[in-house]
Amino acid sequence: MKLWQKANSKKTNEIIDKFTVGKDRELDINLAPFDLFGSMAHAIMLTSIDLLEKQELKSILQECKIIYNEDIKQGKFEIIEGIEDVHSQIEYILTTKIGDIGKKIHSGRSRNDQVLVDMKMYLRHKIEEIVLLTEDLFKALQEKSELHKNDLLPGYTHLQIAMPSSFGLWFGAYAESLVDDLISLQSVYKIVNKNPLGSGAGYGSNFPLKRHLTKDLLGFDDLNYNVVYAQMTRGKMEFLMAQALGVFANTLSKMAMDVCLYNSQNFGFINLPEEMTTGSSIMPHKKNPDVAEILRGKANKLKGLASEIAFVQTNLPSGYHREMQLIKEIIMPALDDFSETLSVATFMIKNLKIKENLLDDSKFDLLFSVENVNKKVIEGMPFRDAYRAIGGEIEAGTYQPIKTLNHTLEGSIGNLCNPEIKEMMNNVIQSFNFEKVHQAFENLLNFEVE
């Protein structure tokens, strides 16, 4: 029996049933802990408005803790054959174990706000996972930046040599990029971290539900107040999440492309570890940067995620529509993919080796032309005259590069500002305040009925 099915309903067609349920049974395993926490918070709230008796609440919470500790935490939780989704499975277990009391848990709830609150808590969890993985990548980049701050690297514009750069600058640039990427994710977290529970099917309830109570019990920062809008956030929050992933993906794809270029024989700036390359079936000399290429491809694929979600909900009016179920099938695998991509990127950065003394090669002499121009400016020559003078030397073949660098500009070769960038990152991470959610869940699991 499905949550929405009436006692006299006819048996559904197997093909139609499979088509409408889709991948819910498979994907909803990810929602199990959050659906359980949502049910526990809802039961506590129902007791506070006398829709459950204290002894009934005690039975519900006791059974929920068993489900959490013995099934979910142990990885044994499953949605059995014939059960439609995670919400149905948990209600089925409660009803099987404690009888009619388990049937009361749905009072004041619709499956609409139930899946919405589950998805919000799931996205909160995945955002925390992304933040922690990003922090690992950030630390790897900063360590490499400091280690190689004095190792020069050609800088390019238009894929032509431009000015001296350094590996310290290159690694550090991607580290700082991740700070801004997390800021974009932070805005999504603020939108996600609002409680929709109590909005029902999108039009509320005549029960005097205490929505602020469930907000606090589940660690949300605020409510989605308007019950119609609460349901409108489904699809919106996944779309915004996908956009934030696209911002990250742009950083990762650019970094992977740099690695592919710098690893090639024509550049020869870095070496990738053996386990990150593959050979050719015909060319014995090949060491292809397959891992970096797949990383680039996965990142580029993520850039299209927001568009895919946008197309699914094109022209939908307010209120719930079954298309929203399809969005779950888009965003959940993508989030797992992204976490894996971040882990691989961190491994790549930690293990690649740079080549030293690159700019000793005379083919890079023109990189230092601006150093020569600036020397004349320091000596009193107007910039335009100095620019023409060095340009004339280059054309005449008399140019001699000045390779002694003294860059003190904030954020340049000699002044990377890595401590300042690290402080920015720490401030962004701390502002998420994930501990509030952890504490809320801990309180639920330890809640005592007085």
Positions annotated as catalytic residues are 158, 280
Tokens coding 61: 């919470």
Residues 47, 53, 58: CA angle, nearest 5 degrees: 85
- 305-312 and 290-303 helices, crossing angle to 10°: 30
Contact 8, 184 (CB under 8 A): no
Q: With 0-12 CB in 10 A as exposed, 13-18 as middle and 19+ as buried, what is 350?
A: middle
Contact 295, 348 (CB under 8 A): yes
Q: Measure the CA–CA gap between 180 and 161, rounded to whole angstroms.
A: 28
Q: Measure the CA–CA gap between 203 and 229, rounded to whole angstroms.
A: 9
For residue 338, the number of C-alpha atoms closer than 13 Å in the C-beta half-sphere is 32
Question: Cα Rg for the chain, rounded, in angstroms?
Answer: 29
Residues 6+ apart with CB under 8 A from 378: none
Q: Measure the CA–CA gap between 408 and 122, rounded to whole angstroms.
A: 46
Q: Measure the CA–CA gap between 228 and 234, rounded to whole angstroms.
A: 11
Q: Measure the CA–CA gap between 255 and 172, rounded to whole angstroms.
A: 12
